[in-house]
């Protein structure tokens, strides 16, 4: 870990990586501080607690993620175009820990961290807005925009983590460039078919 950066920054980066990959419970404060080349007490000192650091991490990785949603939603193009762009972004962007993080927390009975809730709220609102736009101009079929937004996001989120499923089971392999292009095309086609009126 780059020792030039300030300690809280290093902690956020390392913790973000570890939490996203292993989950909150599987990562210890000692792992974080040692990889960040910080003292054991640094988490308590700079963030107050491990949980507070976790929330800060969600915030830090979630804000630019949601910003991308909002930015794409504000671009030019038909609503279906912009939805396609968001879906493609979620599928192809490198180092995008948010989807796995969101799915893991959703799948767990623990109370959702407030920053995670806010993050999902922003993402879904952006997509739901596009759905409403499309419904208004007749390009998207009728239906609850919130539900449709959830349906839209379900596939790219799941496909992203499903790249862990061996190819012989699911036919997904994110490492191969050509396979990835086919995957994006597949997901986009599937989503547009489910949305178009």
Provide the binding-site residues for a copy of itself, judged by CB under 8 A.
21-23, 25-26, 100-101, 103-104, 106-110, 112, 117, 120-121, 124, 141, 143-144, 146-151, 153-155, 157-159, 161-162, 164-166, 169-172, 182-183, 186-187, 189-191, 193-194
Give yes or no for a contact between 32 and 64, defined as CB atoms under 8 angstroms apart.
Answer: no
Residue 116: CB minimum distance to a copy of itself, A: 10
Asked if residue 108 binds DNA (CB under 7 A), the reply is no
Q: Is the Cβ of residue 7 or residue 150 nearer to DNA in the bound state?
A: 7
Phi first, then psi, for residue 152 (nearest 5°) are -60, -45
Q: Is the Cβ of residue 25 or residue 178 nearer to DNA in the bound state?
A: 25
Asked if residue 45 binds DNA (CB under 7 A), the reply is yes
Cα–Cα distance, 41 to 7 (Å, whole number): 11
Unique residue bearing structure tokens 């939490």: 19
Asked if residue 49 binds DNA (CB under 7 A), the reply is yes
Cα–Cα distance, 38 to 164 (Å, whole number): 32
Cα–Cα distance, 71 to 69 (Å, whole number): 5
| Spatial CA neighbour of 96 closest among 106, 86, 108 | 86
Residue 1: CB minimum distance to a copy of itself, A: 19
Residues within the interface to DNA (CB under 7 A):
6-7, 27-31, 38-46, 49-51
């Amino acid at each position: 870990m780059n020792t030039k950066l300030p300690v809280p920054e290093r902690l956020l980066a390392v913790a973000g990586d570890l939490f996203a990959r292993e989950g909150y419970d599987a990562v210890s404060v000692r792992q974080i501080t040692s990889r960040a080349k910080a003292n054991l007490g640094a988490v308590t000192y700079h963030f107050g607690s491990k949980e507070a650091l976790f929330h800060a991490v969600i915030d830090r990785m979630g804000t630019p993620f949601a910003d991308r949603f909002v930015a794409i939603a504000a671009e030019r193009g038909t609503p279906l175009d912009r939805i396609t762009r968001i879906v493609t972004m979620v599928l192809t962007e490198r180092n995008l820990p948010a989807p796995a993080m969101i799915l893991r927390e959703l799948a767990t009975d623990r109370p959702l961290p407030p920053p995670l809730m806010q993050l999902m709220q922003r993402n879904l609102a952006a997509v739901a807005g596009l759905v409403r736009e499309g419904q208004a101009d007749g390009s998207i079929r009728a239906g609850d925009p919130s539900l449709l937004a959830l349906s839209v996001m379900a596939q790219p989120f799941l496909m992203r983590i499903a790249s862990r499923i061996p190819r012989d089971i699911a036919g997904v392999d994110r490492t191969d460039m050509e396979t990835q292009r086919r995957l994006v095309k597949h997901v986009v086609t599937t989503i547009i078919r489910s949305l178009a009126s």
